[in-house]
Amino acid sequence: MLTFNLLVAAALAYVAFLFTIAFIAERRASLGKVAWLRGPLIYTLSLSIYCTAWTFYGAVGFAARSGLEYLTIYLGPTLVMLGWWWFLRKLVRIGRSQRITSIADLISSRFGKSTALGVIVTALCVVGVTPYIALQLQSLTLSFAVFADAGGSEWVAGDLNAVALYAAGGLAVFTILFGTRNLDANERHHGIVLAIAVEAVVKLAALMAVGIFVVWGIAGGVEQTLARIEASDIAHWEQSGGRWVGLTFVAAAAFLCLPRMFHVLVVENDNERHLATASWAFPTYVMLMSLFVVPIAVVGLDLLPEGSNPDLFVLTVPLNQGREGLATLSFLGGFSSATSMVIVATIALATMVSNHIVVPIWLRSRGQGAMMSGDVRAVVLTARRLSIIGVLTLGYVYYRLSGGGAALAAIGLISFVGVAQILPVMMGAIFWRGATRVGAAAGLTTGFAIWAWALFLPSFGEGAILSARVLAEGPWGIGWLRPSALFGFDALDPLLQAALWSMLLNTAVFVVGSLLSFPSPLERLQGAQFVNVFEHSAGAQTWAPNSAQAEDLLIVAQRIIGPTEAQAAFQRAARAQGKAGYLPDVTPEFVQTVERMLAGSVGAATAHAMVSQTLEGAAVSVEDLIAVADEAAQILEYSNKLEAKSAEQERTARALRDANQKLTALSIQKDAFLSQISHELRTPMTSIRSFSEILREGGTDVAAQQRYAGIIQDESIRLTRLLDDLLDLTVLENGQVVLNQQEGSLADLLDRAVDTSGLRSGGIKVIRRPADEAIALSTDLDRLGQVFINLVSNAQKYCDAENPELRIVVRQTPQGPVVDFIDNGSGVPEASQEVIFEKFSRLEDHARAGGAGLGLAICREVMLRLGGEIFYLPGQGGAAFRVVLPKSQAMAAQ
């Protein structure tokens, strides 16, 4: 017989294993090896915390009691995942662009970073989820009790309580250890995510193992199992349509709204693409989880004595068959379900409690605002740790108070309906720009109140909180306020009618409240940001007074995200603005960046409050803007202008940057040119001097004399040409050039240019289309010809193709006829395209090709004088220059 101590040892070993895994994951993450931790598979598995002990153990009980209805709990999330394109994709995008830390943060942030809404949602979640945590503790203790029973030792309540206490304590340690290691929500909880992924595998494997054992080991095959179903108490399809639809809806809503689900779905999401995988992988997971539920239920009902708790069939059936190993595995599966749920739910709740309740209160109590306070970082972490302990304590106390009885078992669905109250506001938040803070608060409060009255308070049982009389007759005898039959509808199932009324009224109040109230500008801006997240993933515009000090912001940021990171972020921002040091200008964008940075740690509302306080801008709050602009529409316009203005500024800044780069490049080029010009002058001079000395010394034969004299002459011409070019350019630049108007045709001019460059004799191959060239010109043909000659000889000099080709293409464009000179060489590198027309510029690689790099500069000046244009044409496969012929002088031939 499996001893109880052995089981405890197994559980402890398993816990040690989880700690190790989490620890290794954190270690690897800190070494930057996170890729495998952030894959779609781990993401999908982490979603499995949806399947808690309540579903692990309870689904079988559910099936034993009400047939196939348990499936709705899994079908709801399946539909949500299948519809990922509609909701989850948007939620995840918003979550990332706004750095949302929890569902309370989402709602608060959307409705103008409202602290009040954050508190409401947090309260709702704490009230709704705490009993759920208690339920997990209960299932843990019950499963221990099963083994204790089987081992022959009857347990007393004290032992069970001790188990619950140890479990809660152990979970608190684990959660604090791995859940509050770092503050920035972007640095997610690798250790925890991996641990729950492992637990996901364990619980699926455990349930499948029990299922396979039941179907093939006990029933003897699929057909026999089906036969057993036909013969059982739940043989017939008697499902109530209302509950089927209603529970599916509630499960779907809870899947989106449960704080722990929001945490793994949105906050821990690393990549939107993972949703695509999870959209089929997660439904597969829950399908497998529910596959063997009915067989286990049916076989359990058959095998076990009348009155056995069907909630524990997963454990008791294997035990009954003497399969202790299987029972232990099953126990670990249930253990996994309970612990993973509690860990993530606690983190999610603690984040909300610390960000939306503790830190704001603490800030307010300091009075002086964020500036005066000490190390906020430590405070936030402490707040979060205390919140974790608080949440778990609450769960334990709830478990003790409720007595761990059957009342608790019903809490699963009640809890679902509770958190589902957030759904209307959440949908409004991401799809309806007209949703307002007032409407959201009213709707949430209404839904919360109805749920508490009709479901939550009665769940404690008669006389616990509501007296039997109130339950039976309504408060003060008002019958239509009876919790189980609101407005006199007692035909419906109590759960269903409570869900129906709470959701309906919640939605109605939310919508009407939104329609009637008027949003603050910040709300409207945030609304636009959320609803249109796909159009512009930029942040909301915030008001940043100019008096704000970057230094103050830095101080605050350092306290929250730590000095190193804050300084790095500020330095980055400063550099992006073109400033040195750590203090960027306090632009609206920068304020937003800081706010988001802080939001990742303390939530949007708190971050906003801190930044506003720091900027001394609390006075220039949004309310003041209304006074100035009296219509929120104007604020929107303002934000648009701001956007346009910042875009304009950015353009200007870019233009300045470009100019600066060009100047730097030019000044380098200018230095280079001076030594270049020296080189160009001295090189011919060297030959001239040397050969003239040789000739003067005499003693050479006549042929040599002639040859040397020829060299001297050539080099003199080369020198003269260089001086001519320099002079020409100076004249052109000073505008002293006299243009000589002539008539002629483009074809002739090109002919002449090709001839003069000596291309006919070989070297580069010239491709032309004479038909296009029949264009009459009326301009200074000598000057235009000079440009063409330059371009053609450039191609000859610089084209590095094996079979060099130059295409001269004449095109008609809206600007008039243009002539493109395109060669098949390697072209001009992009970086150099900017400067080739500057005088003195010459590409390094071609330093030897002759000329001092004045040709293109002269071309540009000439075209400028003629009233045309010349520029480099990128993307033509080789070097390509386009000459736009002078407009007024160019006429079509016919």
Partner 1 sequence: MAKRVLLIEDEPNIIEAISFILSRDGWTVHTHSDGETAADRVRSLPPDVIILDVMLPGRSGFDILRDIRSDPATQDLPVMMLTARGQTKDRELAEQLGANHFMTKPFSNAEVLTHIRALLAGAATPCDPAEPNLEP
Partner 2 sequence: MAQMPRQPLFLARSSYRQRRLRDAIRFLPITGIVLLMLPLLWPRGPDGPGNGQVLIYIFSAWSFLILLSFLLTRRLRNDDAEEGNEPKAEDG
* Of residues 266, 409, 282, 395, the one with CA closest to residue 339: 395
Residue 675 touches which of partner 2, partner 1, none (Cβ within 5-8 Å per kind): partner 1
Residue with tokens 């609803």: 531
Residue 710 or 877 with smaller CB distance to partner 1: 710
83 makes contact with partner 2 (CB under 8 A): yes
Residue 694 touches which of partner 1, partner 2, none (Cβ within 5-8 Å per kind): partner 1
Stretch that binds partner 2, among 184-192, 205-213, 279-287, 793-801 (CB under 8 A): 279-287
223 makes contact with partner 1 (CB under 8 A): no
Q: Residue from 1, 41, 82, 668 that binds partner 2 (CB under 8 A)? A: 82
Please state, in angstroms and as integers, the Cα–Cα distance from residue 457 to each residue in 135, 254, 410, 488, following that order.
Answer: 16, 20, 12, 19
Considering CB under 8 A, how many residues would be counted as binding partner 2? Answer: 44
Q: Residue from 664, 686, 730, 888 that binds partner 1 (CB under 8 A)? A: 686
Stretch that binds partner 2, among 3-11, 66-74, 512-520, 821-829 (CB under 8 A): 66-74
Can you read off the two tokens belonging to residue 419? 């958190």
Cβ neighbours for 494, distance < 8 A, ≥ 6 positions apart? 454, 455, 458, 483, 484, 485
Backbone angles phi, psi at 418, to 5 degrees: -60, -55
Q: CB of 826: closest distance to partner 1 in angstroms?
A: 16
**Regarding beta strands 880-884 and 816-823, do their DSSP bridges make them parallel or antiparallel, or are they unpaired?**
antiparallel
Considering CB under 8 A, how many residues would be counted as binding partner 1? Answer: 22
Residue 84 or 331 with smaller CB distance to partner 2: 84
20 makes contact with partner 1 (CB under 8 A): no
Residue 432 touches which of partner 1, partner 2, none (Cβ within 5-8 Å per kind): none
869: helix, coil or strand? strand
760 makes contact with partner 2 (CB under 8 A): no
Q: Residue from 20, 284, 667, 683 that binds partner 1 (CB under 8 A)? A: 683
Residue 293 or 353 with smaller CB distance to partner 2: 293
528 makes contact with partner 2 (CB under 8 A): no
685 makes contact with partner 1 (CB under 8 A): yes
585: helix, coil or strand? coil
Q: CB of 67: closest distance to partner 2 in angstroms?
A: 6
How many alpha carbons fall within 13 Å on the CB side of residue 767?
A: 10
Instruction: Determine the Cα–Cα distance for residues 45 and 34; give it in Å rounded to an integer.
Output: 16
Q: CB of 716: closest distance to partner 1 in angstroms?
A: 12
Residue 80 or 766 with smaller CB distance to partner 2: 80
Residue 111 or 249 with smaller CB distance to partner 2: 249
Q: Residue from 48, 108, 180, 279 that binds partner 2 (CB under 8 A)? A: 279
* Of residues 656, 675, 864, the one with CA closest to residue 779: 864
236 makes contact with partner 1 (CB under 8 A): no
Q: Residue from 238, 714, 748, 782 that binds partner 2 (CB under 8 A)? A: 238
873 makes contact with partner 2 (CB under 8 A): no
143 makes contact with partner 2 (CB under 8 A): no
Residue 815 touches which of partner 2, partner 1, none (Cβ within 5-8 Å per kind): none
Cβ neighbours for 585, distance < 8 A, ≥ 6 positions apart? 550, 577, 579
Stretch that binds partner 2, among 85-93, 392-400, 483-491, 669-677 (CB under 8 A): 85-93
Instruction: Determine the Cα–Cα distance for residues 63 and 70; give it in Å rounded to an integer.
Output: 6
Q: By the 8 A CB rule, do 337 and 52 touch?
A: yes
Beta bridge partners of 820: 809, 882
CB count within 10 Å of CB 247 equals 25
Q: CB of 330: closest distance to partner 2 in angstroms?
A: 22
Q: Residue from 537, 664, 690, 713 that binds partner 1 (CB under 8 A)? A: 690
Instruction: Determine the Cα–Cα distance for residues 893 and 308; give it in Å rounded to an integer.
Output: 105
* Of residues 258, 211, 233, the one with CA closest to residue 67: 233
Residue 230 touches which of partner 2, partner 1, none (Cβ within 5-8 Å per kind): partner 2
Instruction: Determine the Cα–Cα distance for residues 347 and 430; give it in Å rounded to an integer.
Output: 24
Residue 116 DSSP class: H
Instruction: Determine the Cα–Cα distance for residues 25 and 29; give it in Å rounded to an integer.
Output: 6
Residue 683 touches which of partner 1, partner 2, none (Cβ within 5-8 Å per kind): partner 1
Instruction: Determine the Cα–Cα distance for residues 8 and 798; give it in Å rounded to an integer.
Output: 83
Can you read off the two tokens belonging to residue 461? 């049982």
Residue 71 touches which of partner 1, partner 2, none (Cβ within 5-8 Å per kind): partner 2
Strand order in the sheet with 816-823: 765-768, 805-813, 816-823, 880-884, 869-872
623 makes contact with partner 2 (CB under 8 A): no
What string of DSSP letters covers 458-502?
A: GGG-TTTSS-HHHHHH-GGG-GGG-GGGGGG--SS-HHHHHHHHH
Can you read off the two tokens belonging to residue 738? 């006299």
Q: CB of 721: closest distance to partner 1 in angstroms?
A: 15
698 makes contact with partner 1 (CB under 8 A): no
Strand order in the sheet with 890-892: 742-745, 775-779, 890-892
Q: Residue from 368, 702, 734, 848 that binds partner 1 (CB under 8 A)? A: 848
Q: By the 8 A CB rule, do 540 and 592 touch?
A: yes
Residue count of the chain, please give it: 894
695 makes contact with partner 1 (CB under 8 A): no
618 makes contact with partner 1 (CB under 8 A): no
294 makes contact with partner 2 (CB under 8 A): yes
The amino acid sitting at 87 is: F
Q: Which long-range contacts (CB under 8 A, 24 or more apart) does 711-714 make?
A: 711/687, 712/687, 712/688
Q: Residue from 224, 571, 646, 687 that binds partner 1 (CB under 8 A)? A: 687
Q: CB of 688: closest distance to partner 1 in angstroms?
A: 7
Q: CB of 522: closest distance to partner 2 in angstroms?
A: 20
Residue 656 touches which of partner 1, partner 2, none (Cβ within 5-8 Å per kind): none
78 makes contact with partner 2 (CB under 8 A): yes
Q: CB of 709: closest distance to partner 1 in angstroms?
A: 12
711 makes contact with partner 1 (CB under 8 A): yes
Write the interaction track for partner 1 spanning residues 643-682; mark x where CB under 8 A is met and - where it is not: -------------------------------xx-xxx--x
Residue 689 touches which of partner 1, partner 2, none (Cβ within 5-8 Å per kind): partner 1
* Of residues 10, 635, 680, 568, the one with CA closest to residue 327: 10
Instruction: Determine the Cα–Cα distance for residues 658 and 538; give it in Å rounded to an integer.
Output: 25
Q: By the 8 A CB rule, do 775 and 745 touch?
A: yes
Dihedral angle over CA of 444, 450, 451, 455, nearest 10: 180
Write the interaction track for partner 2 spanning residues 24-63; mark x where CB under 8 A is met and - where it is not: ----------------------------------------
535 makes contact with partner 2 (CB under 8 A): yes
719 makes contact with partner 1 (CB under 8 A): no
Can you read off the two tokens belonging to residue 381? 């972490």
Residue with tokens 């590409």: 843
Q: Residue from 70, 249, 543, 691 that binds partner 1 (CB under 8 A)? A: 691
Cβ neighbours for 572, distance < 8 A, ≥ 6 positions apart? none
Q: CB of 266: closest distance to partner 2 in angstroms?
A: 16
CB count within 10 Å of CB 714 equals 13
Binding site for partner 2 (CB under 8 A): 67-68, 71, 75, 78-86, 89, 226, 229-230, 234-239, 241, 244-245, 248, 272-273, 276-277, 279-280, 283-284, 287, 291, 294, 534-538, 643
Binding site for partner 1 (CB under 8 A): 674-675, 677-679, 682-691, 693-694, 711, 714-715, 847-848
